[in-house]
Amino acid sequence: MAIRLRFFASLREALGPGEELPAAPGLTLGALRRQLIARGGAYAERLAEGRAVRGAVDQVMADDATPVPDGAEVAFFPPVTGG
């Protein structure tokens, strides 16, 4: 199976709407982010460590240690501010 990767807001503008990736046993949100950063280019720039990027797994806010199970939807997006 695979995981569904989605980007939102400014990340979507820079990286596209997302894609399907092969599922890997033991994958975490942090490991997935590092894999994407390793692609270089816009991925490395927009997802770099220290950049304010939030993540969710199956529409639940997640941190770097959150497991990404087979068939999951993973979303990355910038933090939202409001007033």
Domain ranges of the chain: 2-77
What confidence score (pLDDT) does residue 82 get? 55
Which 8-state DSSP code applies to residue 74? E
Q: What gap in Å lies between CA 2 and CA 63, rounded to an integer?
A: 20
Its pTM stands at 0.92
Q: What gap in Å lies between CA 80 and CA 41, rounded to an integer?
A: 24
Give residue-wise pLDDT tens across range 14-44. 999 999 999 899 999 999 999 999 999 999 9
Are the C-beta atoms of residues 76 and 47 closer than 8 Å to each other? yes
Q: Which tokens belong to 21?
A: 């990736």
Fold of 2-77: Ubiquitin-like (UB roll) (3.10.20)
Token pair 């596209």 is found at 16
Give residue-wise pLDDT tens across range 62-73. 999 999 999 999
**For residue 73, what are the contacts with CB-CB under 8 A and spacing of at least 6?**
3, 4, 6, 57, 58, 59
